[in-house]
Structure 1
Amino acid sequence: MVSKLASIARKRERLILGLMSGTSLDGLDLALCQIKGSGEQTQLQINHFKTITYSAQVRADIQEIFSKPTVNMAKLSAMHARIGTLFAECTLLALNEWEINPSAIDLIASHGQTIYHAPQSLTHDFHYPNSTFQIGDGDHIAVKTGIITLSDFRQKHVAAGGEGAPLVVYGDRLLFSPKTGSRILLNIGGIANFTYLPAVDASDDLLLASDTGPGNTLMNQYMQHELDEPFDKDGALAASGKVNSNVLAALLNHPFFSAALPKTTGPELFNLAYIEKTLQQTRLSAPTHADMMATLTMFTAKSIAHGIQALNVHSLIDEIYVSGGGVHNHFLMHCLKETLPSCSIHRFDALGIPADAKEAVLFAVLANETVAGTADHMNGGVAAPQVCLGKISFPQ
């Protein structure tokens, strides 16, 4: 198997399937990428893309162990194997639909399913290092598909001194740096994050990637808990409500938002308990469902805008390209344009990659670098300290 891996590394181009499942828990994104070269010579083409929606049962099983400080260890162990098996099943299903034999795929790059994110900046417990945990065992994926699988990218980032998020800066720099000017690549998943990209010939020291706070997580959790709906489709309910400025101000009054960039966070902080605690501390009455959704949507937009405006180069940003599930929320996109009126905001599709596929694609790039990159690519420059090589699982 090592000789096969070496053979893949020597190939002129590789066929890599990127798998991404975010904290929104809505489904698995699968992006089949044809990648030539590595490092700054990377050329990428998406051959196929699809999202396989999770069943209500799968979502409920994940939620039992998701973002909780205490969980049933038997359930946790079982779900690590179950999600790996599910990812393998989804892979084989997609390949069959695309009429591609699994033997034609060189590598799978699996992000896994994040269930807990615990950097010291969030836990404030300095007796323990930064940590982050993704389930979806790479060995199960490799054995059940017969394809060499790379996983646990965030663990390397933590081991190298990072917080395990966001990881996209390396691929963003390789694939999407503008020839002139600068741009923001904004991803709105469960948590929102951005990469600031200067011009392609600018110093890597100017690069910055950071979380900004909640993306879809608070909106989705509220819809699920209060209305038994998975999310606010198109932002329609929020658009029918009115933003409660007092509640909005209280939600924004958290030390996370004044912390320096870069920073990371997760649903461990931004969840229903955060809303309830805010209302209790401020003695504010809960708005109607429509008004609360309008307020939560504006909260996401404002927190994103706050993060971007914290950049010293904010006035020099030419364009913002938005990916992730949040791009489908029309009211959220309206709020973003309202809070960032000087910026030109576009869907990520304008850069040639579907907005929903971006993160799955970038994990395929990281897998490519793990196998075919060089030390010069991953040490120093854009990768330091964001080293993000994957662990390798062989089928046998």
Structure 2
Amino acid sequence: MSVVLIAEDEEAMLEIFAQVVEDLGHRTLRASNGEEALLLARTEPPDLVVSDHMMPRRTGVELLRTLRADVRLKTVPFLLLSAARPLGLEEADVFLSKPVELETFEQAVENVLRSRPARESRQEAMPGGGRVERSSGTVREEMLNWVAHEIKTPLSSARLNAQLLLRKQGERGPADERHCAETILRQLDRMNTLVTSILDAARLSEGKLALRMVPGDFTAFLQELVQEWRELQPQVEFMLKAPASRLDLPFDAERVRYILNNLLSNAVKYGGEARRVEVSLSLSPGLAVVQVRDWGVGIAASELPNVFERFHRVEVAGGHGHGLGLYIAGALARLHGGSLSVQSTLGQGSTFSLRLPLSGSVRSL
């Protein structure tokens, strides 16, 4: 049995995280703020620390840095949770974005605890207590992080409880009750998507959204993404046309995943009866070009100049988006130094083209 310290200022989230960890067979220590968590860790060194970031008296990252500066605690694994993307998140052993999936959280806890005995000692980090001065963050950015925390934390709690309810019902549970729980999850996911989009749009408009550019095999990334969609939407045929060889380029995997997920989601939603989506990867001078094509309802010529504008909704049957997805996708493409464009004919389908530079060229908006 391992000892897991959980630091979370929201009582409902603290309770659900502790319940999940205890159901996995571990003992928990519970703290409602960063200072309390530090005191508990120094009193009984845990095998794992699970901490929210935005907490009173010491943030999650500040707690992490203080533990790393303590000779007795510097090798304790740290799992950081946040609705925002705080500076310093890469210093944690694992970072999970709220709202977090139940199975993802369970797997992360088990994986970290399983690997703990083989961990090597870390080098000292942030001596002198780990308190750091704030960088040039603005009040607006702090407000955005606060909004993300205050909205996504109850969302995360509600999702985890709904997932636990579904698990307890099992396959033998009443069908109407399972349907209600699944409906709740879908609506919570829609709320989370909307909140994330609003926050990203605000950060983009203020030039506050930074990319994490890492060189990688883009072909393998695209193959993995398309396979995820095949498993997610088995009733749709996803075709991938891509070179068999590696294609190395610098890109922010999370942000490019957002762009392509948006395009693939729209292709499925507006693909009509064809139930077919084609993804292709090709090269043009200095660029990698990803095209997502469907054979669905298409977009009227009068709508095409406006599809990437903020809050614009294309008037098509079955559409219920929030008007931010393509705006954010286009802005993220430009941040990469690339572009996003569309060709479409009403009644014949659409082709969206994402162009990314083969060499790093991050731009400001």
Q: If the length of structure 1 is used for normalisation, what is the TM-score?
A: 0.26
Q: If the length of structure 2 is used for normalisation, what is the TM-score?
A: 0.27
- Larger of the two Rg values belongs to structure: 2
